[in-house]
Structure 1
């Protein structure tokens, strides 16, 4: 019996399983196309995975980079995972920086690069713990949350459209006046830097560096270093927590990093160079330029021309080919040449009238829609104060609160009166090139402010419409993560420090300036460029635009403008520094 059982077992082992044929048929391809399809799908998956790996700016890659840099200790201890498989989100692992998770992700991406490049390179050689990095993250999170709260109280409209352009306008006026005085034969001073600094002084840039006196360079660098420390110490006295503010070692370390590494090397050392500013302006102009100069296919041009001709013939605006062939024998050559320009001029005049009528209809429709929807747009008091006019009227608030709202609106300047417009006119020298246009714009400005309806006055129809456009197109919070992602990809390619930029030579600087001028000219239609620059010669137009760009050529003069902008930002975010000194603030907070 045992022998029969063994024989049965042996025979059962030799027999194939019932599921074996189905598995083999499904796994083994039967034709020649299956291996190609599997290979193509595998290649496609490999390309997609490689693309995801190389795309360091995506949200998934950014979150993985942040976990490796800032949360590696928690992941090793098992605190960075939920359920052992699914990684926890960044907002669960790290303290919030702002009220938006999308903005926090991009900010933590920038912080991770800075900590990896400037902190972990030397701190990991001392100790493997992450206590110092965690403390730095906590301090940064406290400062960013405080900055966000202060940023809500800043009038961004006035800052971007009035105060920043006002500083740029003063810089342009002073630069051109200093250049004019230095080139004048009656002037006793031939150095435009000295004239500019006398007219537009700044304590961080005193004394003026003079090649004949080498000690002035050393004194100016010491003054600039002291000014950077003063700015950073003032910001830390306002934003740092009290316990961290009392820690002199931590405060000195943070102040040294920000003052020397960011302000010294980044802003003062690189951002003030003329060639770098020209490159930035040229890139922005290339992004804004919609009509790029491209070489088109001649065959496509012929096809488009044939299509236009067929459409004109279909509507009876041009004689058909049959009529031309039949009429060519009946009409004399002289009569044909005499009647052809008349028909072409009539058709072109007809289409020109149609085009201008359509443009007039579009403009009139835009004006009517603006007036109709202006009453439903929010008041400008919502951007800078808690008491809007409409709500005060509907809820019948006390007279004191309505007077406060009226005073708030009285402080706000109309958008049509902000420095943005006068600064733009000063940049292109509108009062010299087209004084008649300057006078016409002044008449329109006066009519908008004091004319019928006062549409351009504060909280008027036009003022509300412009404010609404600015808040939806420029000051939209949804654009901030995109801007931060672009800044990180530009400053830190592949989540690391890019190769140091070599200072361009004199010829390379001229080429950068020429490309910037070409990009700016590309924004103007050819007819507008000819009328504004009073020349149809491309070389002359480039020379005139390059003369306008000369206001950013000197790095020492650019520091006056950029330092003034930086001081303005600090004062708007920390208005305490305008009324109290840094020592008084430190004593008040530390007791």
Structure 2
């Protein structure tokens, strides 16, 4: 045995040396990654945060809140579309339904499920509420499709806005009385403030009850528990909190002006950057021109040539636009055309038209919106000659030769086409998404990025910023001509520009400050919360009455009796 083992050991190969064993190890084991690389790998595998306003996060919010029974059926990574969640459609567009259901999910989670889940574990209550809301939204959409939006929402806006010009609350309320906003609240009278709030809350509930009595089916209207809860959601959370609460605050309107002006300014800069490339000119050229603007005879000659080219291009663009507008359809209500086609198909004599949309149709240039805008900027008081000249052009375009701006004229069709494009439903999803981000940061009630001013000085500073934002959008020459200058200098046309420290430059700075003061006085028209409530409620009543004329003919009790017997 000893000899056998010795012979076996002698026949076995000798182990390789240490250096050779080290060289036979795997290559990845020899070079271990440094700690920095391992840290980078861990950071790369970390999940990227999801935008709470994205479609993925919105769908997850809707599934968790409104469709919890589907969480176990679907995979974790599966992202169904909004139409796959077995929810009743709110509108005819899925992208609009996605944003509306996101609002409903937040409202139901924070204000309904927070207390209902403590009472019972029943999950059929939320689908019943959603079904009632879906009935209301689809019925409203059908009425919107039959509504002449441009005539009813644009031509009637002057009657609302002209009422804002009355500054004192007492005079304002006596001329345009709203019973539910009486008595006029005063800071030194707490009883009047509380009474006005109670009247306003009662009016909101009656208004929503009348709307539900018209829109809901009879079987849903017979359920008092669900209808009462839906009434509270619409009257308090939507109308009371958003429309009459936050939208009536002057500081929020000033913030909205600043945000809109900033967005328009960025869009204007992007458009200018696309049109004019900055590679062919020095970056200091604009600064030098701003510092010292020289008006010479040669410069005026070049300016005249540029103005002539601009005028020629404007005429060519106007002629091409009018030629294209001829192919646009006439301004007729779609539902009237459908009814006429149906009557012709059935060989029936069409009944006399009782719809006021056709009789109320006027040319776009005759809309009261233009007079409303003129009242806001105080056109007749500041530049009466300009108002008269615009009125002369308006009359000539509507009633003059060729009637290019008359009813169904080329210019009238073109303006109507652009107004209809403003009311396109494709604009709703981004608006609703931005509104949700402002009202509910991270899809939950929290501290908004827009903070109310804490003092009167901060409110005045905010109004000043809003005036400055509007001034930055307008050309300086337009604002100085419209608001007027205290000194007119004609000698600078052929001489060098003013230096920064010259008296003329100081006068220009004073004029700029005075222009901001004038713009502030124009913005003061929305500086009172009580007057803003008048405007918001008047606009809400106007829209609802145009959609549901039954509200102006019958009271809430009569509407419910007609539906329930």
Give the TM interval when normalised to the shorter protein: 0.7 to 0.9
* Alignment partner of 2:363 out of 414, 424, 436: 414
- Over 3 Å counting, the alpha-carbon distance change for 1:368 and 1:400 in structure 2 is farther
* Alignment partner of 2:245 out of 269, 273, 283: 269
CA drift at 1:57 = 1.1
Partner deviation per Cα, 1:134-156 (whole Å, 9 max, x = no partner): 11111112211111111111222
Summarize the alignment of residues 187-586 of structure 1 with structure 2, pairs less than 5 Å apart: 192-210=168-186, 214-290=190-266, 304-305=281-282, 345-346=297-298, 348-382=299-333, 385-386=336-337, 409-472=358-421, 474-499=422-447, 504-535=454-485, 536=508, 537-586=511-560
* Alignment partner of 1:131 out of 117, 121, 124: 124
* Alignment partner of 1:50 out of 48, 51, 57: 48
Whole-angstrom CA distance in 2 between matches of 1:405 and 1:589: 24
CA drift at 1:286 = 1.9
- Over 3 Å counting, the alpha-carbon distance change for 1:216 and 1:146 in structure 2 is same
Give the alignment's TM-score, normalised by structure 2.
Answer: 0.79
Summarize the alignment of residues 145-224 of structure 1 with structure 2, pairs less than 5 Å apart: 145-172=138-165, 174-175=166-167, 192-210=168-186, 214-224=190-200
* Alignment partner of 1:70 out of 62, 66, 71: 66
Partner deviation per Cα, 1:10-43 (whole Å, 9 max, x = no partner): x9xxxxxxxxxxxx98x94999999999986875
CA drift at 1:398 = 9.4
- What secondary structure is seen at the aligned counterpart in 2 of 1:370? helix
- Over 3 Å counting, the alpha-carbon distance change for 1:491 and 1:215 in structure 2 is closer
Whole-angstrom CA distance in 2 between matches of 1:478 and 1:422: 29
CA drift at 1:420 = 1.4
Of 29-38 and 148-157, more deviation after overlay is shown by 29-38
Whole-angstrom CA distance in 2 between matches of 1:273 and 1:236: 28
- What secondary structure is seen at the aligned counterpart in 2 of 1:386? helix
Residues 70 and 112 in structure 1, CA contact (< 8 A), matched pair in contact too: yes
Summarize the alignment of residues 85-104 of structure 1 with structure 2, pairs less than 5 Å apart: 86-93=78-85, 94-104=87-97
The alignment of Structure 1 onto Structure 2 pairs a total of residues equal to 501
State the partner residue of 2:104: 111
Residues 155 and 384 in structure 1, CA contact (< 8 A), matched pair in contact too: no
Higher relative contact order (CA 8 A, sep 6+): 2
- Over 3 Å counting, the alpha-carbon distance change for 1:281 and 1:388 in structure 2 is farther
Whole-angstrom CA distance in 1 between matches of 2:348 and 2:391: 37
Please, what is the CA RMSD of the aligned residues? 3.7
CA drift at 1:482 = 1.3
Partner deviation per Cα, 1:85-131 (whole Å, 9 max, x = no partner): 74543312222111111111111111111111111211222223311
Q: Which sections of structure 1, spanning at least 5 residues, go unmatched?
A: 1-6, 12-23, 176-191, 294-299, 310-340
Of 438-447 and 120-129, more deviation after overlay is shown by 120-129
Partner deviation per Cα, 1:251-298 (whole Å, 9 max, x = no partner): 2222233223333333333322222222222222222224679xxxxx
Give the alignment's TM-score, normalised by structure 1.
Answer: 0.76
Residues 139 and 240 in structure 1, CA contact (< 8 A), matched pair in contact too: yes
Q: Which sections of structure 2, spanning at least 5 residues, go unmatched?
A: 1-7, 13-24, 271-276, 287-293, 486-507
CA drift at 1:585 = 1.3
- Write 1 or 2 for the structure with the bigger share of helix: 1
- Over 3 Å counting, the alpha-carbon distance change for 1:42 and 1:202 in structure 2 is same
- What secondary structure is seen at the aligned counterpart in 2 of 1:380? coil
CA drift at 1:168 = 0.9
Whole-angstrom CA distance in 2 between matches of 1:37 and 1:420: 64
Whole-angstrom CA distance in 1 between matches of 2:513 and 2:554: 54
Whole-angstrom CA distance in 1 between matches of 2:399 and 2:464: 43
Partner deviation per Cα, 1:182-234 (whole Å, 9 max, x = no partner): xxxxxxxxxx2212211111111122234565433333223212211111111
Whole-angstrom CA distance in 1 between matches of 2:56 and 2:356: 49
- Over 3 Å counting, the alpha-carbon distance change for 1:306 and 1:72 in structure 2 is closer
Whole-angstrom CA distance in 1 between matches of 2:130 and 2:191: 41
